[in-house]
Amino acid sequence: MIRKVALVIATVLSLRAATVTSFDPGWRFLKSDAPGAEAPDFADDAWRTVNVPHDWAIEGPFDQKNPAGGAGAFLPGGTGWYRRHFMLPDADANKRVFIDFDGVMANSDVWINGFHLGKRPYGYVSFRYELTGHLKFGPKAANVLAVRADNSARPASRWYPGAGIYRHVRLIVTDPVHFDHWATFVTTPKAAAGAATVRVESRIVNQSQMPRAVSLEVSLLAPDGRTVKTASTPSQTLPPGKTADVQLEFAVASPALWDLDHPNLYRAVAKVRAGPATLDEQSVPFGIRDAHFDAATGFWLNGKNFKIKGVCLHADAGGLGTAIPLRAWERRLEQLRLIGVNAIRTAHNPPAPEFLDLCDRMGFLVMDEMFDCWTVAKNPYDYHLYFRDWSQTDTRDTVMRDRNHPSIILYSAGNEIHDTPRADLAKQILKGLVDTFHEADPTRPVTQALFRPNVSHDYDDGLADMLDVIGQNYRESEILAAHAAKPTRKIIGTENQHGRDVWLALRDNPPYAGQFLWAGIDYLGESRAWPQIASAAGLLDHTGAIKPIGYERQSWWSDKPMVYITRRVAPTAPAAVDPGYEAQARRAVQTLYSDWTPANTAAHEETVEVYSNCEEVELLLNGKSLGVKPLAANAAARTWRVPYEPGALRAVARNKGATVASYELRTAGKPAKIILKADRTRIAPDFDDVSTITATVFDEHNVQVPGADPLLHFQITGPGTIAAVDSADNVSHESFQAPERRAFQGRCIAIVKATGIGRILFSVSAEGLGRGGLTVEAMR
């Protein structure tokens, strides 16, 4: 059973009594196998020096013969080694030392000074090893941490997974008496505007050789930093080698609740005390909120009932691969929020912990998903090979890591699981997973993205009803019928297409709590054939720009008045696709163009669609009205057949007779110049901060030229580097690391990182278009 708690917290950000050192910089890397490289004295002087997070596969090259195939974006796999040399002071000799990996793709083995610490097959989970007992101390004693990541067996994924130590790494040095890993759990058994109850529970470990008298002290800090309350447990004697579970509760008057518009975060500062001494300390941000699902009315947050308007996201960010600076994710989420998105499904695996921190701070809801398969394979070398041995451990670790995030409202046990036709097998597995979720976090419901449940009889054989909230991919009429057959079922769409009928199924049915669209952003992989290297199923392209279907979605999901114009053009050729993916492939064939520059300049008619959430829209061509059309009750786009003539096509949206939004397309002339625009002109010299610079080709009148595809050359001087270049072209095989990129439909991007403090000068040039430039300031 789920213990109804209205909680939660975010990831532990600091351990003040412990020493937490970033282990991101200074690794030596070899992109091949190296037998014996775990040995401390192995010769690695010739290896390449890299910082992590690092994704070696994104460096390419693209090759039709790469064994990952289209599923892996035709990018390479193989085996890679990382080695990090480090020293520890003598003062740490009597302490406990741990290494934390947020994620290594995949089949990782880790050694310290030649001692094998362990193996983790699943590349999406975080894990810790203890190094104590295998270390050397002192100014002349070198230690070597070695990591082998084996991605040689492909295909192992249905999308691009990256390769290597692609998330952060930390070294932790603690007192022998300390908090257990991921043990601190903050819940709010009561959460309301008038009052809340905050419960902080944890586990203290005594790894010393003697009994210790210890207590738990917790201070609650309000979002503005004020100390709300401080309390302590009575001191207790903890024998060597033993643990103690400890707990405190606080009454908080008039709390600042966490919600989508006001993602207020408190902080719990928890300390392990031994008399006046602090042995360990954790500072834990948390949010107070009440979230639950109702069978009749859907989703509720803090007493408010609204639809979950979600998207599914894979773990790559285009040219950055899977080693993604947090600012790149923030920019993408900002774009999705403009459309009206309020929720993210981490398809189909646990995300990086800092991504969840970001969702906490920005006010997004999250479905935290575990697996894309159980024991039945989708690829020859995917997780089915390890599921029986590792799924319980991976699930427990992930839930304990993630259970303190206020953004998370659902866990998912799997996506389109092919075990379900064998009901006895699937139900046994699902029970074990659901029990593990609930044991580690009794406060949140568990769902699963059911795959054609009427075919596998999930609604009839009892499997679906083992879930706290029933999730189904696509086939909206089926899940609505399942609810009608049993109205006590809580239901959600875990994966849905972009069509208007799909939206109406959600809008017009109160029990239907929400939907997660496939997909939020174009992503690398899941290509059906060369030369395509990415899926075009997103509301955003993989540079993060909103596509026309994104604006259509905005007209349905956003409350802010908006209007947008696009031309609908019949596809020039049908897509050749596998059965079952027809709808997705049709979306991959571009039919919507937001320009008034058709290739055909002779007399003809254009089909013009206008997306708006406003009461009426008037369309004008060169100042002449083409008519006014009202908002359709069925959410259909307003459509005109417009005789083409060059000039300006303008849409004016009105509410109650007042103009509230407008949008204009103008016919483009010949390419004349390149204009640069940075999403931010000040960045820090930190992995997680970047500036995304968009280079756009304009004509002499500052109209974007949609057909322009010149090769753009980038230059950078000062304390900065180009981390990646990219465009929205899903069939381009250009290197993401090159200092040049061909524009696609008049546009491409460069992502810039700071390497120090000072002024970064960035410029672009192309034959016949001159040079453009801008400045980015790098500062702390």
pLDDT tens digits, 272-309: 999 999 999 999 999 999 999 999 999 999 999 999 99
- Residue that is written with structure tokens 């949206």 in the block: 653
- Distance separating alpha carbons of residues 105 and 673, to the nearest angstrom: 42
The 10s digit of each residue's pLDDT in 436-470 is 999 999 999 999 999 999 999 999 999 999 999 99
CA distance 560 to 660: 9
d(CA 708, CA 200): 58
Residues 6+ apart with CB under 8 A from 498: 517, 539, 549, 552, 553, 587
Distance CA 2, CA 403 (A): 13
Residue 619 near residue 651 (C-beta atoms within 8 A)? yes
The pLDDT of 124-140, averaged and rounded, is: 97
Give the end-to-end CA distance of the chain in Å, rounded to a whole number.
48
Q: What is the pLDDT of residue 586?
A: 34
Instruction: Find the length of the chain.
Output: 780
In single-letter form, the type of residue at position 540 comes to L
- Active site residue: 416, 526, 552, 734, which one? 416
pLDDT at 423: 96
What percent helix, strand, coil does the chain show, rounded to 5? 15, 40, 45
The DSSP bridge pattern shows strands 470-473 and 491-496 to be parallel
Active site residue 495: yes
Residues 524, 316 contacting (CB under 8 angstroms): yes
Q: Does the annotation count 439 as an active-site position?
A: no
Per-residue model confidence as pLDDT tens digits over 170-224: 999 999 999 999 999 999 999 999 999 999 999 999 999 999 999 999 999 999 9
244 DSSP β-pair partners: 204
Instruction: Outline where DSSP puts E strands in 330-469.
Output: 343-346, 365-369, 408-415, 446-450
Instruction: Kindly indicate the confidence band of residue 64, based on its pLDDT and cuts at 50, 70 and 90.
Output: very high
Number of C-beta neighbours around residue 259 at 10 A:
18
Looking at residue 18, its pLDDT comes to 85
pTM (whole model) above 0.85: yes
Residue that has been written with the tokens 């020293």 in this structure:
87
User: Span 413-434, mean pLDDT?
Assistant: 97
Helix (H) or strand (E) holding 326: helix 326-339
| Cβ neighbours around 153 below 10 Å, total | 16
| Tens digit of each residue's pLDDT (9 = 90 or more) over 138-175 | 999 999 999 999 999 999 999 999 999 999 999 999 99
Count CB-CB contacts under 10 A for residue 725.
25
> On the CB side of 209, how many CA atoms lie within 13 Å of its CA?
2
550: tokens are: 């994104």
The four Cα atoms 163, 48, 319, 520 give a dihedral, to 10 degrees, of: 30
- Rounded Cα distance, 209 and 740, in Å: 60
* Cα gap 31→725, rounded to integer Å: 22
Give the residue among 389, 335, 332 at the shortest CA–CA distance from 355.
332
How high is the pLDDT of residue 590? 72
DSSP assignments along 654-691, one per residue = EETTEEEEEEEEE---S--EEEEEES-SEE-SSTT--E
Element holding 614 (H helix, E strand)? none
Confidence check: pLDDT of 495 > 90: yes
Among 556, 497, 73, which residue's Cα sits nearest to residue 316?
Answer: 73
Which member of 330, 354, 495, 734 is catalytic? 495
pLDDT at 10: 30
What are the residues whose beta carbons fall under 8 Å from the beta carbon of 654, sequence distance 6 or more? 614, 615, 616, 617, 618, 660
Q: What is the pLDDT of residue 406?
A: 98
Question: How is residue 66 written in tokens?
Answer: 């790469």
Decide: helix, strand or coil at residue 727: coil
Instruction: Compute the Cα dihedral for 334, 340, 344, 345 and give only its sign.
Output: negative
Whole-angstrom Cα distance, residue 345 to residue 312?
5
Q: Would you state the pLDDT for residue 572?
A: 60
Beta strands in 571-710 (DSSP E): 592-593, 605-612, 616-621, 624-630, 638-643, 648-655, 658-666, 673-678, 682-683, 691-698
pLDDT per residue over 572-616, tens digit each?
644 443 333 333 333 346 789 999 999 999 999 999 999 999 999
d(CA 246, CA 183): 10
Return all residues near 2 (Cβ < 8 A) that are at least 6 apart: 438, 442, 443, 444, 445, 468
- pLDDT, one tens digit per residue, over 235-279 is 999 999 999 999 999 999 999 999 999 999 999 999 999 999 999
Percent of all residues in the chain with a pLDDT value above 90, rounded to a whole number = 94
- Residue 559 is given by DSSP the state -
**pLDDT averaged over the chain?**
94
Cβ–Cβ under 8 Å, residues 238 and 214: yes
Render pLDDT for 541-577 as a digit per residue (tens, 0 to 9).
999 999 999 999 999 999 999 999 999 998 764 444 3
Q: What angle do CA 60, 61, 66 make, to 5 degrees?
A: 95
Q: Which residues pair with 741 in a beta bridge?
A: 712
Residue 118 C-alpha from the chain's centroid:
27
- pLDDT tens-digit readout, 358-415: 999 999 999 999 999 999 999 999 999 999 999 999 999 999 999 999 999 999 999 9
- Tell me how far apart the alpha carbons of residues 400 and 495 are, in angstroms, rounded to a whole number: 25
Contacts of residue 581, Cβ cutoff 8 Å, sequence gap at least 6: 528
Residue of 385, 287, 398 whose CA lies nearest to 351: 398
Q: Mark 198-220 as b/e (b = at least 16 C-beta within 10 Å).
A: bbbbbbbbbbbeeebebbbbbbb
